[in-house]
Amino acid sequence: MKRFLWVFLLVFLAACVTAGPNKTPDNFVVQAPEHWTKLNVSDCSMYSKEGPFDQYIFIQQRHVSQEFPNARKTLSSRMTPREVSDLFLLEIASDPGVLDLRILETSPAKINNYDGFKAVFTYRVKDGYRFKTMLYGFLLGEWFYGIRYNADVSKYTEEDIRTFEKMVKTLVIKGA
């Protein structure tokens, strides 16, 4: 069961991480939350307090030309925050490993003065585990930046949300 979750987590993250000619230049910094551990995952920044099966914070940077494998679409630097949000949610909804996706909120958001979006949703995986996710994202030039908190619904706490919201406020793009 945990093996399936680990595979699902890796596949889900791989779909969000850049690769090949559009390799991420890693030009963002963020203040890690106290008592959270940075996980050793290549090509991304990921943090967890109790382990990635319970909850994690994932920060991504992806080039707009990178295709979403399930939705078979790409971002465009001319997209509105709403269009970007819609494409991310379409990608998640199109993932065969994601069941019972329920979108609880989508709204415009400011992420350190960048116009972006906030999305909150729940989903289930085949083994029955249920997760809740809060995702912030924005486009800057040819790059998308996203920061998400994902947790088993039984581990999704207001304390962790406050910690995550503080972390979102520390996200800085180098040279921007």
More confident residue, 4 or 133: 133
What band does 13 get if pLDDT is binned at 50, 70 and 90? Answer: very low
- Structural domain range at position 51: 2-173
What band does 26 get if pLDDT is binned at 50, 70 and 90? Answer: low
CATH number, domain containing residue 27: 3.40.1000.10
Rounded mean pLDDT of 60-74?
Answer: 94
Please state, as a whole number, how many other Cβ atoms lie within 10 Å of the Cβ of residue 162.
11
Q: What is the pLDDT of residue 125?
A: 94
What is the domain count for the chain? 1
| pLDDT tens digits for range 97-117 | 999 999 999 999 999 889 999
